[in-house]
Amino acid sequence: MTRYLATRLTHAAVVVFLALTAVFFMVRLTGDPVLLFMPMDTSPKDIEEFRQKLGFNDPVWMQYGRFVGDALRGDFGESLRQQRPATEVVLEKLPATLELGFTAIIISVLVGIPLGMLSATRRGSVWDKIGTFLAVIGQAVPGFWLGLLLILLFSVWLQWLPTGGRGTWQQLIMPAITLGAFNFARYARLTRSTLLDVLGQDYVRTAHAKGLSSRVVMWRHALKNASIPIITVTGLQVGRVLGGAVIVEQIFAWPGLGRATIQALLNRDFPVVMAAVVIFALLYTITNLLTDLAYSWANPQVRLS
């Protein structure tokens, strides 16, 4: 177990390092941030002094080396727009993204898995057809279009929910549903297909032959053995949800990290972009590590060696 954890942590460090390297060079292809912040009538001397102060006159390799050294200490510099530490800006926005992302995942799990179980246990019935139809619609509808429809219906026509912002549970409902719709559909389809395969196994028929109730067979035998693909998808969806929250945060004016990252990219605020990428990469790698560890709980035959 110790060796496995050390290997996985090493892989995580490599992923974060490569992500940092890629973003460091890619954001500099968007243009010179000095020209963005300085007024149009600024003299060339003032522009040069400002560029020298930010360190953009140094060779790229020197900027990169200085950036990596500071990043290892958790220092990504000051935000060019807000004039305060970039790490502070990112961590200030992170709770909103985590709140939205995990609420969306909880909704998709609580709706998608029971719907998939219902479809699998009543294969060919009207419930199975309804569940399949909802799953297909959930994966076919684009998130941004669903978000706009929800705003039009519940905010403009019915006036039940606010159009955006953060602060109350009413403001969380529509963004969480929009973000979790695609995942709910994936959970429903995956649960149905996996359970149909498991329910046809010999040990399930043996459990029924012993006189165990359908509920006991489902929860103690079938669902646990069918949970490995579900765990895998959950681990992948956490990273996808946190990254995909950018569009939802823009639509609903949700003050999260995704929206702040987009604004930082548009403003060429390099330090904030770097700090945000590190946070996203860390969240994704930690989630994958926890997913691998959860395999041993779901199936003792899985060995982490």
Interatomic CA distance for residues 116 and 130, integer angstroms = 11
**Is residue 291 scored above 60 in pLDDT?**
yes
- The arithmetic mean of pLDDT across residues 64-83, rounded, is 80
Residue 33 phi, psi dihedral angles, 5° rounding: -70, -20
| Domain membership of residue 290 as a residue range | 87-298
Which tokens sit at 120?
A: 């699998």
Is there a domain that residue 226 lies in? yes
Q: Which residues pair with 85 in a beta bridge?
A: 78
Is there a domain that residue 164 lies in? yes
Is there a domain that residue 178 lies in? yes
Q: Are 106 and 177 in contact (CB under 8 A)?
A: no
Residue 175 carries which side chain, given as an amino acid letter?
P
**Is residue 181 scored above 80 in pLDDT?**
yes
CATH code of 255's domain:
1.10.3720.10
> What pLDDT does residue 130 have?
84
> What pLDDT does residue 287 have?
79
Is there a domain that residue 46 lies in? no
Is there a domain that residue 30 lies in? no
- SS3 category, 45: helix
Count of domains forming the chain = 1
Tell me which long-range contacts 267-270 makes (C-beta under 8 A, separation of at least 24).
267/33, 267/36, 267/80, 267/81, 268/27, 268/30, 268/31, 268/32, 268/33, 268/36, 268/80, 269/33, 269/79, 269/80, 269/81, 269/86, 270/27, 270/28, 270/33, 270/77, 270/80
Which tokens sit at 295?
A: 């395999």
With bands split at pLDDT 50, 70 and 90, how would you rate the model's confidence at 4? low
> What pLDDT does residue 144 have?
80
Is there a domain that residue 38 lies in? no
Is there a domain that residue 29 lies in? no
Residues 6+ apart with CB under 8 A from 250: 258, 259, 262
For 72-81, 100-109, 233-242, which range has the lowest pLDDT when averaged over its residues?
233-242
**Is residue 62 scored above 80 in pLDDT?**
yes
Is there a domain that residue 209 lies in? yes
Q: Whole-model pTM? A: 0.76
Residue 210 CA to its chain's centroid (Å): 44
**Is residue 47 scored above 70 in pLDDT?**
yes
Give me the chain's average pLDDT, please. Answer: 79
